[in-house]
Chains A and B, each alone.
Chain A
């Protein structure tokens, strides 16, 4: 992206860019709180991709992910005032993004819960496979792409918490709160999501 921008004709944005990146995050956030458009733009540049990533994983189409991303950054102008620095900014931003995506999912379900708890859903699954996970060993880029692909193919009730946990790095409590579920149930969903993922990957590698 940057390389592309530099290749462009017209004056090179050397000085401007260097100082921009030199500025630390706190300063940028401070200025963004004062509705500094440039600072908000800087936050966008730094985090848009990551925010889009979470949306892309959580929502099922590119369009809705793009819409959600725009919404997040639109809301940010207002919400950033409420950011108190108690948690790292990227984490906070992903939290906001998670909320936005869940709102989007909920809207699509006409206001109903995104994931509905079912009976004995939280029951702990005992005595699981002792053999090492097929996930443990794979590491090449291609295989990681396979993992992503398999995650994308998980059903929504597995995909959403999994992505919130391992991409959004939200805690069980935060996920439970955002999805309106019990913490136990989130733990069970995450566990089942992993098992389903292993099953999908094992199936594929055969």
Chain B
């Protein structure tokens, strides 16, 4: 029983972090068909900005977190204006923007290397203490991460389902031309989605660095996992991504306990391969059926 609680507690924390990192990626792919390869770098940037806010500016941790999210939203907006928007006018958008964002990610990473150095730094945003469940000590930090993730996911779901803006985002991702015929300004939807994705990446970067450490390349692993989650869920399926993230988090925690840490990534990839053989468009992916 204790082992079970342990696995669930750390699995849910992992899953929550993956979910926050993935939702932004999935939203962007869903509405623009754009794989944002700079997502990991934005995530890292969020972690560093929060660190700098607390350590160098003496901000309240909550304020530093919000500031990091806001600045990374601006970075997302700049990626739209500087890379996506000009590339949308030409042929081969998906490939071009893929390569362009790899470049942007690499620039961001090198800027952070210059600014903060190559050595790991602890994230000062930490919630001390723990609660005891059975014989297991669950750090409050984990519960804090879970709580933030639940709040953010609920907010994203509310906006997507209940607001005019959210409906326009969903409409654009389902049928761009039809959305335009309804009067949706798709350029604005793209900008909104990239900004939201940037903010979510920042928050997940802060959370991940708070249980690991900050380093310029820390975004790589969560981004890879986020891609895996996206693919397993079906690219662009936001709700599927949340479910898949949590399941993969739990699975990773279980594998780490049962088989050892070195098997966790291999197991993850094995599951992805099996899922894709079984359902090539992802677990929750939809095949577009065109009926006339």
- A pairs with B: no
